[in-house]
Amino acid sequence: MDRLRRRSPVRFELVAANVDQGYNGFRSDIIEDHLKAGGHRYHIEMTEIAHTIRKKMDPADTHCSLCARLRRGVLYRLATQLDCNKIALGHHADDIIETLLMLQLFNGQIKAMPPVLRAKNDVHTVIRPMVYVWEQDVIQYAREMKFPVVCCCCPACGDTSLQRQQIKAFLKRLEEGHPGIKNSLLRATRNIQLPYLMDPRYLPSQEEAERPASHERVGEAALP
């Protein structure tokens, strides 16, 4: 993003924001040192998200969705506080297609993560500049640039029983057997054929469905 900012004909500023969720062992100091060394403007927000989750949820429950909502709320607040009109998130192409499948299989919805989203509060705009970048490319680039990689220290990190991890493993197997299948899924998010789905909002009304086709009406008019 910083390189893009320097090359872009549109002038904009960047503020790197990191949300420390309060999990033991999280090394926000490593992130801060890296940002300082690069001369970047940054803000690290200390929160009690971990405490809130422990208080609100049963330890046996998956708390990923609540955690995500709490983090998003912090980012919205920070955007206002730091006078930022865009919130750039780091979701990559694998995140997009994993979410697409998760919501279909477990929530009965066809949706994923758009590259641009106007928040429901009509104040903030969320952008995802990395939606066409695959996770493996991100990993490789981070290694080449020697970026520090800091574990989030969430207790669920690396839990292979989680839905997202299961979907990730499923997609990996599919891609190994059918190379290019992940690209096809990503393309599908840009090629929605609404008339061929079952959402009643996009189906013809009964009146429209029973109305004769235009060629049928012409034929009737031509009869003596």
Instruction: Assess if residue 198 is contained within a domain.
Output: no
Q: What is the mean pLDDT of each run of 10 residues along the chain (224 residues)?
A: 89 94 93 95 95 81 84 95 95 98 96 93 92 97 94 85 94 98 98 93 85 62 47
Instruction: Please report, rounded to a whole number, the percentage of residues in the chain having pLDDT higher than 90.
Output: 71
Strands (DSSP E) contained in 9-121 are 16-20, 42-46, 86-88, 116-118
Q: Is 6 exposed, middle or buried (0-12, 13-18, 19+ CB in 10 A)?
A: exposed
Residue 158 belongs to what domain range? Answer: 13-192
The answer to whether the CB of 71 falls within 8 A of the CB of 21 is: yes
Instruction: Assess if residue 74 is contained within a domain.
Output: yes
Instruction: Assess if residue 63 is contained within a domain.
Output: yes
Instruction: Assess if residue 222 is contained within a domain.
Output: no
pLDDT tens digits, 164-216? 999 999 999 999 999 999 999 999 999 999 999 999 999 988 888 788 766 55
Rg (C-alpha) for the chain, rounded Å, is 23
C-alpha to C-alpha distances, 196 to 144, 185, 191, nearest whole angstrom: 45, 17, 12
The answer to whether the CB of 183 falls within 8 A of the CB of 96 is: no
Instruction: Assess if residue 200 is contained within a domain.
Output: no
What 3-state DSSP class applies to 13? coil
Instruction: Assess if residue 197 is contained within a domain.
Output: no
Q: What is the CATH number of the domain that holds 20?
A: 3.40.50.620
Instruction: Assess if residue 217 is contained within a domain.
Output: no
Domain tally, the chain: 1
Buried b (16+ CB within 10 A) or exposed e, 126-161: bebebbebbeeebeeeeeeeeeeeeeeebeeeeeee
Instruction: Assess if residue 160 is contained within a domain.
Output: yes
For residue 139, is it left (φ>0), alpha (ψ between -120 and 50) or beta? Answer: alpha
CA count, 13 A, side-chain hemisphere, 42: 18
| Residue 217 one-letter amino acid | R
